[in-house]
Amino acid sequence: MANSQQVSSASDDALKQQRLGAVMQVLGWTLIAFDCIIGVWIWVGLRSGSFFWVWWVAIEGVLGLALIGLGTRRRSRGNRQFGELAPR
């Protein structure tokens, strides 16, 4: 009985890792998409002498790429955990 609880707990943990990774990837891609929309304002800001939009897009882009990278790692960790639990 205890063994089945351990297996379900391990599979629940693997599923949580996969879901967290997927959410992080979606948030990262959403930030990148908004960067493309906000990118229109870079030229307007530079023409007026402001670097606000440049920094905004740069920081948001780095955060988006970091979330995509971390999400990919989390998702692959969950996949690897499921692979270890699979019967052979």
d(CA 43, CA 22): 33
pTM for the model: 0.83
Q: Which of 69, 84, 67, 6 is nearest to 31 (CA)?
A: 67
> pLDDT at position 67, please?
98
Q: State the 10-residue block means of pLDDT for the chain, 88 residues long.
A: 64 91 98 94 91 95 98 94 81
> pLDDT at position 7, please?
59
> pLDDT at position 4, please?
60
> pLDDT at position 87, please?
79
Distances from the Cα of 43 to the Cα of 25, 32, 36, 49, 54, angstroms: 29, 18, 13, 10, 9
User: How many residues does this entry show for the chain?
Assistant: 88
What are 46's two structure tokens? 């530079």
Domain ranges (residues) in the chain: 12-85
